[in-house]
A and B are shown apart, each in its own frame.
Chain A
Amino acid sequence: MGGRKIVEVPVTLEVPVGPQHPALHEPLLLRVYAEGEEIVRVEVNTGYNHRGIEKLCEGHSFHKSVFVIGRVCGICNTVHTDCYVRALEHLLGVEPRERALFLRVLAMELERIHSHMLANAVLALNVGFENLFMSIMLDRERAMRAKEVLTGSRVMADYIVVGGVRRDLDDSKREKIARLLDALAPRLEFYKRVFEEDETVLKRTVGVGKVSRLDAIRYSLLGPVARASGVAIDARASERYDAYGELNFNVIVNSEGDVWARAMVRWDETLEAVRIARQVLEKLPSDGNPVPDERKLPRKFPAGEAYTRVEAPRGELTYYVVSDGKGPNPYRVKIRTPSFNNIVNSPFMFVGYSLADLPAILASLDPCISCMERVTVIDVEKGARRSIALRDLAGGE
């Protein structure tokens, strides 16, 4: 069958950089070349999500930039603000109260839960299992509710500020979150079993998109993608930032390196996140108000440089902040999101697999939810062009 096909996958990323290749008309994430059904080459664009955020931060004060930073990525806004705020705290020599540090961890773990559930739900959808997608999304609402109880918002928390967190947690809210976690945990165990046992899922994910440990390291892959290939990296364990130094948790590693392994790492991390959240609720220190008095926060930052790392749901996220000590604005804010590494370096992962495997491999990288979109399949030989849903590609269409 020597047919030559090109598949164009339009997606956007949460990375703060981006637009498209000038030669292409559509803003694409991937352009996939196939001989018959086999993928022979992949080109990646960083999408069209460039909002000029790093430059924008230079034009705002350090404190105001916290609100821009949260909006780099709505899905993982808490880890972004945490990482940036900690860089500022290093520059200022400010240490929040213990209670605030624990609450930050709680927010970030609740975020990890919702993000991983979303990623695995989208994977389910992309292997043709729409009911499973809907079911996971319904249970995910509990995580959204828990986030809202803690931070006041389902998505955009704006919760972490220099010196602490924006609001405290009282006993009744603490109870509510504990109850939500109790309801969520057995559902997570159930989904993990589904992914371990269901024929549909296994058929489309086991042995698909395999990445060796060496490749994962050489290509700077991060997060669940790296850990599923046996690379034991986790910024929470290595940096022990906020309250992670006081909490017990495991770094989840799998050695299979395929789509299935990535999904399993996410389920296990989600369960681990519940355990961490429960520890936080149990051990929450009472060393005073975790909300800083913003009037007392320094406006002028001394000269200095800080580089902070945080374990976002998608992997290591880093912030490099430079202060020249001359004014209220940062001199430089460099943001490196995990998807920047994982997606831009991903082409090699697809080659040799079939077009029908494309949706699953892409979803296993957890790019962003817009990958639910329609893709364009160009049959070069026949000169035909058609648009189909990404997940329908999995059905061999």
Chain B
Amino acid sequence: MAALVKLKPLEELFTGRSSVLPGRVVLEFKPDDVRRLFSGLIEALGPDGFFISTLSATDLPEAGRVRLDYFVVLLPEEETVVFRTYLLRDKPVIQSVHDLVPGALPGECEAYDLLGVVFEGNAHLRRGFLAPEDAVELGEYPLRKDSRV
């Protein structure tokens, strides 16, 4: 993964490293650092040096956590790196980055409506953006493991 060397300036933000098949590097960061991470990416790579491809939220009830994965494509190499963080399941709150990187918007809205992750600062978050009305009325987040839908 040649492009990875470009992330050196952000080294101090990463608390762990693992991987996802096939050979994609996963860099773990603290939720509080999400804005530092993305403004750091803009500074180190330029606003046209990367894009957010996919934002995935996964419910991990046994661990009492929700995992957030930001799948970011580095340009021009088009190499994918995963920025991973864990939120408390009982209070899954993290700051939004959609003002820094507008491409984050759809993923944040989806993670909010289907899993209940709150992205502070994103005024577009709303229930029913994706989930059906009856799920919303019951206060259910469909992708949670204990959801009653």
Contacts and interface: CB of A to CB of B under 8 A. Distances in A.
B39 to A, nearest CB: 13
B81 to A, nearest CB: 11
B106 A55 contact: no
Nearest to A226: B51
B75 interface: yes
A322 B103 CA distance: 24
Contact of A50 (B21, B71, B130): B130
Interface stretch (A163-171, A304-312, A351-359): A304-312
A220 B53 contact: yes
A119 B22 CA distance: 32
Nearest to A44: B106
Contacts of A320: 20, 54, 56, 69, 71
A237 interface: yes
A217 B51 contact: yes
Contact of A307 (B82, B104, B128, B131): B82
Query: What DSSP secondary structure best describes chain A's contact surface?
Result: mixed
A145 interface: no
Nearest to A87: B21
B148 to A, nearest CB: 12
Given A55-B149, A318-B53, A233 B71 contact: no
B21 A316 contact: no
Interface in A201-248: 213-214, 217-220, 231-235, 237-238
A90 B21 contact: yes
B103 A19 contact: no
Contacts of B103: 218-220, 341, 345
Contacts of B93: none
A21 to B, nearest CB: 7
For this complex, into which size category does the number of interface residues on chain A fall?
A: 35 or more
A238 B51 contact: no
B106 A340 contact: yes
Interface in B3-46: 20-22, 24
Contact of A19 (B75, B128, B143): B128
Contact of A55 (B22, B76, B110, B143): B143
A233 B50 CA distance: 11
Contact of A238 (B71, B78, B129): B78
A145 to B, nearest CB: 34
B106 A214 contact: no
B91 to A, nearest CB: 21
B130 A46 contact: yes
A238 B102 CA distance: 24
A90 B22 CA distance: 7
B48 A318 contact: no
A178 interface: no
A18 B109 CA distance: 11
B9 to A, nearest CB: 20
Contact of A219 (B21, B102, B110, B143): B102
A316 B105 contact: no
A278 interface: no
Given A218-B47, A305-B21, A318-B53, A50 B131 contact: yes
B101 interface: yes
- Name the residue among B21, B58, B132 with the largest chain A CB count within 10 angstroms: B21
B52 interface: yes
Contact of B58 (A87, A238, A332, A336): A332
A46 B132 CA distance: 12
Given A19-B131, A218-B101, A54 B143 contact: yes
A344 interface: yes
Contacts of B104: 220
B120 interface: no
Contacts of B53: 220, 309, 316, 318, 336, 341
A91 interface: yes
9 contacts: A21-B126, A52-B149, A90-B22, A305-B21, A307-B20, A307-B80, A334-B54, A336-B54, A341-B106
User: A-B pairs with the 4 shortest C-beta distances?
Assistant: A220-B103, A238-B78, A344-B106, A90-B21
Interface of B: 20-22, 24, 47-48, 50-54, 56, 58, 69, 71, 73, 75-80, 82, 101-107, 109-110, 114, 126-133, 136, 142-143, 147, 149
Given A231-B75, A309-B53, 18 more contacts: A17-B114, A45-B129, A46-B130, A50-B131, A50-B132, A52-B149, A214-B48, A217-B75, A218-B103, A220-B51, A220-B102, A220-B104, A233-B73, A304-B21, A306-B22, A308-B22, A309-B80, A344-B105
